[in-house]
Structure 1
């Protein structure tokens, strides 16, 4: 019988598990935590005994988390936040906080807002780390299982326990390479062209294409990529069109021409989305306020 049980678990062990999972190595976890590799290895052995799982196995020259370790890591993130909330009793001092906030965003939202957010966190909360994961089509379980504490997306998942707040609204623009083609003259010219687009999930179209389909219209796609930042390389030197958020002109779409779509398009609202359990959490309210504070400057550039 193991001499350890669940009461031997503490925040340090949970943080260690997350560090090894996220760093993908004992060395990386030790550097992140500021301890020796032998200390990490010793505590991992204790965790293995408590959980009855190897947690990490060799893969090539490194290690990978077992399925059980990945499951426990998701639970550990939630438990650590509960411990932090218990310790602070609703008070929050960003200058003294030591935690990691995980935000899910696609490359458009990430590059537009999150560098400025990270800069604000470095100034007012140097102990806070920002972890960014891809959002694609946001899933309810991302928030319910605490895979992330905040999602930025134009498509809030539908759930009674999900809270959202509009951050801004963008308009679609058609981007193209003027060395190859002119702007589409009208709806017929636009629909006759070859298009490049972003596809996050098979057989799931963008809001724009759902809007066009409702009017009996359809674009012809010859290039489909997983991120907005991949599109410009396929536009340059080709007659392809890409209809994307207009604010992308400030990112990787610089140097390409753009025009208003010659078809009626929906607007693109952008939301901050979180789980209801964080609605009154002091740290989360502070994070949301920091995110909202960078929106106006980002749109003004």
Structure 2
């Protein structure tokens, strides 16, 4: 029988047969299926017509199944059990999850956010795996829709509809300078910021657009380097008077590691929201709901702690992802 022929059959009748065999009573089967006794009798009549067999004979108050009914009921045990399991709510157990999650993200998140969530993730789900892909700002929708990525962690700079998102927290911005930089031991003013050469890292493309908006009536900065990884800028930071503008927490982590100077921006800049973003197809996946909850909890706590420690502007209105 072809699958389309199955579609035209009332497969609910087979469930009714299973219940009738178990209960050996039309009235009890009717109660289990929330039917009237007369409706259950009509179901039994349709079953007899469908299967070409009386299926039951009456013995006192009980029904005695025929050999056909018993063999059908036995054959239905496995498929009905599989359907019950398939249609039942899934009790997700992270310890038994062996899924590979694909996350598109920025170098900033890879260095300063995700490493703080991974220990708990692997503690709860030791068999999961991750594939991290570079964020492509202009193609974020495509990466989550067609690229089958499970999650993005970033500050989106383009419209994300109809994607889903959840905030992780506020991120500020600071500048990195070499200790040999002419501004290393003096206060940096706006003219200094505009006149010295700059490096812009792709980790902060969202930062770039926000800074350009804040400085839209000022002369263009001289951008001598744009790269995806911070290491490219660090390789030349001692060779020229370079200003590297990056998220504030990354600036503090890198400054300790590479013996650099951190300077605040010399103009007003509102800290911005960092988000995790996913496609609606992932909305109700138990595994992905678990992953998002861990990322939100661990990364949210981390970002909030840094906001306090670094004195970032928590009073300014949050900047929601673009419409």
Flag whether TM exceeds 0.5 (same fold). Answer: yes
Distance 1:288 1:109 in 2: 15
Distance 2:167 2:107 in 1: 18
Distance 1:86 1:158 in 2: 36
Match of 1:6 in 2: none
Match of 2:179 in 1: 178
Q: How does 1:20-59 map to 2 (within 5 A)?
A: none
2:190 counterpart of 1:187: yes
Match of 1:126 in 2: 126
Task: Return the TM-score normalized by structure 2.
Answer: 0.60
Distance 1:258 1:159 in 2: 33
Local SS of the residue matching 2:194: helix
Match of 1:78 in 2: none
Select which of 278, 285, 306 maps to 1:281: 285
Task: Indicate conservation of the 8 Å contact 2:168/2:276, yes or no.
Answer: yes
Task: Please say which structure displays the higher CA radius of gyration.
Answer: 2
- Structure-2 change in CA distance of 1:98 and 1:87 (3 Å): farther
Local SS of the residue matching 2:149: coil
Local SS of the residue matching 2:295: helix
Distance 1:87 1:108 in 2: 41
Distance 1:147 1:157 in 2: 19
Runs of 4+ residues deviating >6 angstroms:
none
2:144 counterpart of 1:140: no
Local SS of the residue matching 2:122: helix
Q: How does 1:194-205 map to 2 (within 5 A)?
A: 194-199=197-202
Task: Give the aligned length.
Answer: 216
Cα root mean square deviation, aligned: 2.8
1:218 positional shift: 1.7
Match of 2:240 in 1: 238
Local SS of the residue matching 1:252: helix
Where do 5+ consecutive residues of structure 1 fail to align?
1-84
Task: Return the TM-score normalized by structure 1.
Answer: 0.64
Where do 5+ consecutive residues of structure 2 fail to align?
1-84, 307-323
